[in-house]
Amino acid sequence: MGMQINLKSKLALISASALALTSCGAGNAESSSTEGKPQVLTTFTVLADIADNVAGEHLEVESITKVGAEIHGYEPTPKDVAKASEADLILDNGLNLEAWFEQFVEQTDAPHEVVSEGVEPIDISEDAYAGKPNPHAWMSPVNVQIYVDNMVDAFSELDPDHAADFQSNGESYKDELQTVQDDLVGELSTLPDKERALVTCEGAFSYLARDADLDERYIWPVNAEQEATPQQISSTIEFVKHNDVPAVFCESTVSDKPMRQVVDATGAEFGGTLYVDSLSEADGPVPTYLELIKHDADTITEALTGGNK
Ligand SMILES: [Zn+2]
C-alpha cells in the first residue's frame, strides 16, 4: 500500500516536470511532430503494427515500449509520460498484460481503449496467477480480428472523416489474419501425435496451443521480476524426459538460461527463439505481427519434426 502511494506521487512528480519541460519547448517540439495527424500510442510494438495496418496513412501510430522491451513490468520514463500527455488516443492490451499501465494512464488526459475487449480469455492454471486471464491473447490471429474491430471503432471515433478507410483497412487486414491463422493450424496439424508438446519459458502460448491443438508446457506462467525457481525448472525437466520432447523453446524478451538448463538435463534440442511480447527490429526476423506468427509456426514445426538438425 505504502509503495503504491510512493509510486503514484513519484509518477505525479515526473508528469509535472515533464509537462513543465514540454511547455517550455513547445514551439520547437510541435513543429517536429507529424503534420497534424492524430497521434495514437500503443503499449507495445505488436499492437503498434496491428494498429498501423488499420490506421493506414491517416494516423501516426507509435509504441511506448521499444523493440525487445520487457512489457509486463515495464517502468515508464518521464519521456513516456510527456509523450502520452500529447497523444490523442492510447491503446493497451488489457487482460492484466501491462501491470504499469493503470497508474501511467492516470497521469494523462488522453483517452484509452482496451483492444482485447470481447476476446474469450483463457485462464492461467498455475502458481500465483491461477484463475487470472492469460494476457497473450494476440497469439491467436482470430483474437486479433477482434482487436482490429475494436481499433476500427476507436479510430472512427477519433477521426470520423476517415471511418470508411479504417473499416476497409480493417477488413483487408482481417483477411490476412485469417490466412495466417489457416496456415498456422494447417502447418502444426502435420506434427505427429507424439510430438505435439510445446515447451517454452513463459506461458505465452495458451491461445496458439488451443488453436493448433498442442499440449502447452512452460517454466513460468507470466514474466515477473524473479527468475525461474528450481522447482519450476525441475518439473519442466521431468515433463520433457517423460514425454520424450524433442525440442524446447524460449521467448525473445527473456533470458533462455533456464531453458538451456532443461536442454542440458534432458538432451532435448534448443528449438529456437519464439517471438511473443515484442517484434524484432525492421531488419530482424519478425518486423510485423503477421511475420511473427509465421516465424513461430515455422520454428515450432521444424524443431519438433527434427527439420533443423
Ligand atoms: Zn509475456
Residue 224 lies in a domain: yes
Determine the angle formed by the axes of helices 289-304 and 45-55, rounding to 10 degrees.
130
Distances in Å between the Cα of 176 and the Cα atoms of 64, 92, 184, 190, 290 are 26, 22, 12, 22, 8
Going from the Cα of 227 to the center of ligand 1, the distance in angstroms, rounded, reads: 14
Distance of alpha carbon 131 from alpha carbon 98, whole angstroms = 17
For residue 230, how far is its CA from the centre of ligand 1 (angstroms)? Answer: 20
pLDDT band at 11 (very low <50, low <70, confident <90, very high): very low
CA of residue 204 to ligand 1 center, whole Å: 6
Which residues does 264 contact at the CB level (< 8 Å), separation at least 6?
none
Tracing cell 501510430 back to the chain, one arrives at 61
Q: CATH number of the domain that 261 lies in? A: 3.40.50.1980
CA dist., res. 135 & res. 142, Å (int)? 15
What spacing in Å lies between the alpha carbon of 239 and ligand 1's midpoint? 22
Percent of the chain with pLDDT over 70: 87
Q: Kindly state whether residue 262 falls inside one of the protein's structural domains.
A: yes
**pLDDT value at 246 more than 80:** yes
Q: Is residue 167 part of a domain?
A: no
Give me the mean pLDDT over the 202-213 stretch: 96
Residue 160 CA to ligand 1 center (angstroms) comes to 34
Do the domain assignments include residue 239? yes
Q: How far away, in angstroms, is 303 Cα from ligand 1 center?
A: 22
Residue 307 pLDDT greater than 90, yes or no: no
Full residue range of the structural domain in which residue 297 is found: 188-304
Whether residue 277 is contained in a domain is answered as yes
Question: Which position has the higher pLDDT, 12 or 68?
Answer: 68
pLDDT at 36: 86
Tens-digit pLDDT profile for residues 128-165: 788 999 999 999 999 999 999 999 999 999 999 999 99
Residue 299 is predicted with a pLDDT of 97
| Ligand 1 (single-atom ion) residues, CB below 5 Å | 204, 223, 277
SS3 63: strand
Number of domains in the chain: 1
Chain Cα centroid distance, residue 267: 30
**Gap from CA of 98 to ligand 1 centroid (Å):** 10
